A and B are shown apart, each in its own frame.
Chain A
Amino acid sequence: GAVVSQHPSRVICKSGTSVKIECRSLDFQATTMFWYRQFPKKSLMLMATSNEGSKATYEQGVEKDKFLINHASLTLSTLTVTSAHPEDSSFYICSAGDLRGIGEQFFGPGTRLTVL
Chain B
Amino acid sequence: RKEVEQDPGPFNVPEGATVAFNCTYSNSASQSFFWYRQDCRKEPKLLMSVYSSGNEDGRFTAQLNRASQYISLLIRDSKLSDSATYLCVVNPRTGGFKTIFGAGTRLFVKA
Contacts and interface: CB of A to CB of B under 8 A. Distances in A.
B59 interface: no
B34 A104 contact: yes
Q: Describe B's contact surface by its main secondary structure.
A: loop
B101 interface: yes
A105 interface: yes
Interface string A102-114: 1111111110100
Interface string A29-46: 001101000000001101
B42 A110 contact: yes
Contacts of A104: 32, 34, 46, 49
A99 B45 contact: no
Interface stretch (B12-20, B21-29, B67-75, B92-100): B92-100
Most B CB contacts (10 A, CB to CB) among A1, A43, A97, A106 go to: A43
Interface residues of B, number: 22
A105 B38 CA distance: 14
B30 to A, nearest CB: 10
Given A91-B41, A107-B45, A34 B104 contact: no
Interface string A73-116: 00000000000000000010101010100111111111010000
Contacts, number: 53
Given A43-B104, A91-B41, A103 B46 contact: no
B75 to A, nearest CB: 19
Interface in B33-57: 34, 41-46, 49
A103 B45 contact: no
B61 interface: no
Contacts of A49: 96-98
Contact of A1 (B46, B91, B99): B46
A49 B89 CA distance: 16
B29 to A, nearest CB: 13
A43 B87 CA distance: 9
A31 B96 CA distance: 12
